[in-house]
Amino acid sequence: MDKVSLITLALKVISDRLITPALETAISEMLKAVMVDPTATITDKTKVIDRALKLEAIKMKMQDDEWGSGFMGLEDEENEA
């Protein structure tokens, strides 16, 4: 098994344990609540949006089997030169 496959497998195992439906629901509910809260500052709203976006970015990376594979090619090219 190559390094990229091992990294992909590790990400899937980690994601299955860390990104649960409960976490997704909690972030979604927090986002809804802060957006309708008239006392929430722009900083509060931005922090919650940032959390939601980070969760989505992690999920996208886990679904993309090619994510990170470009980094492995750089070492190979340097060794050949």
- pLDDT for 19-40, tens place per residue? 777 878 888 898 999 999 999 9
* Distance from C-alpha of 29 to C-alpha of 35, rounded to nearest angstrom: 10
Candidate ranges 4-8, 20-24, 71-75; pick with highest mean pLDDT: 20-24
| Domain spans of the chain, in order of start | 3-80
Q: Calculate what percentage of the chain has a pLDDT beyond 90.
A: 17
Spell out the residues 6+ positions from residue 12 whose beta carbon is closer than 8 angstroms to its own. Answer: 62
Sign, Cα dihedral of 78, 6, 63, 12: negative
Q: What is the pLDDT of residue 38?
A: 94
